[in-house]
Copies of this chain bind each other. A is one copy, B any other.
């Protein structure tokens, strides 16, 4: 499927993609690009990449697919840096979990680069992984059954040729692919990923030390995502600020409605609220 695949940032997501691509025989060479020798050596040792490089710009030459699997802030910068180096017909994609900011940056880079005529960019977000991080947690089956959202934009993939290939790639490693605008992605993901993340952190911080000391499995499950890497999540939250603020406001309304029902001892309203949540969640199982 690919001759030379470059994975920039072979950590949990990038490394798992490398392992899956290798297992399925989807690329002849997989090159891992990073800044830390130790992580790259580990990616090599685990079989996630065939070659490694510390130099992004030289590594992407001759690649037919470049996957940016770093943090959301880094991705936008790296896209601009690699764009002029990409060869005719090459594809660029990413795995960032806030899409509008990234896609807008890449569109801007396309608008000022002659590369725009010879390459394609398709934003992506495989919804896999956990509060763990790093190449040590990577595994070939990470994407099996996961949803991968692709957010093509007219100016970075005008004929949709790039989209078809990127869709095939993610489907080949086990994803169910969904397509939407970067803005729709951010709005929906704010509700089911970014909001639950920060709400879990707030739940932990709202609990006293004495209460935490008693915490049982229910609490630990509810707050599992709060063990994610803070720096990574700060970037995500800021990159998706508008949508996350809207989701926070929606949660605030729900919590206020619940407090009102509780305060007035309105058992019917409380039960309706809890039953609605149960039915909606159980419908997803």
**A45 contacts the other chain (CB 8 A):** no
Q: A221-B221, A262-B237 are in contact. Are A251 and B192 (CB under 8 A)?
A: no
Helix, strand, loop or mixed for chain A's interface? helix
**A36 contacts the other chain (CB 8 A):** no
Contact B223 A224 (CB under 8 A): no
Contact B205 A192 (CB under 8 A): no
Stretch among A80-88, A101-109, A165-173, A266-274 lining the B interface:
A266-274
**A250 contacts the other chain (CB 8 A):** yes
Residues of B within 8 A of A203 (CB): 195-196, 199, 251, 254
Identical subunits present: 2
Residues of B within 8 A of A38 (CB): none
Q: Mark A154-194, 1 if CB is under 8 A from B, else 0.
A: 00000000000000000000000010000000011101110
> Cα distance A203–B252 when bound, in Å?
10
Report the minimum CB–CB distance from A82 to chain B (whole Å): 26
**A41 contacts the other chain (CB 8 A):** no
**A112 contacts the other chain (CB 8 A):** no
**A198 contacts the other chain (CB 8 A):** yes
Q: A238-B262, A271-B231, A280-B205 are in contact. Are A196 and B214 (CB under 8 A)?
A: no
Stretch among A26-34, A47-55, A113-121, A240-248 lining the B interface:
A240-248
**A201 contacts the other chain (CB 8 A):** yes
Q: Mark A271-285, 1 if CB is under 8 A from B, else 0.
A: 101111110111111
Partner of A259, one of B215, B227, B245: B245
Contact A224 B218 (CB under 8 A): yes
Residue of chain B at shortest CB distance from A184: B210
Known: A199-B222, A212-B284, A226-B278. 10 other contacts (CB 8 A): A193-B219, A197-B218, A201-B273, A205-B276, A226-B281, A229-B278, A230-B271, A234-B270, A237-B270, A248-B262
- List the 10 closest pairs (A to B, CB-CB), nearest first: A201-B277, A202-B254, A230-B274, A191-B211, A204-B277, A206-B250, A230-B275, A188-B211, A191-B207, A196-B222
Q: What are 13 inter-chain pairs, A to B, with CB distance below 8 A?
A: A195-B206, A196-B218, A198-B258, A201-B276, A201-B277, A204-B280, A205-B280, A206-B251, A206-B253, A220-B285, A228-B278, A230-B275, A249-B259
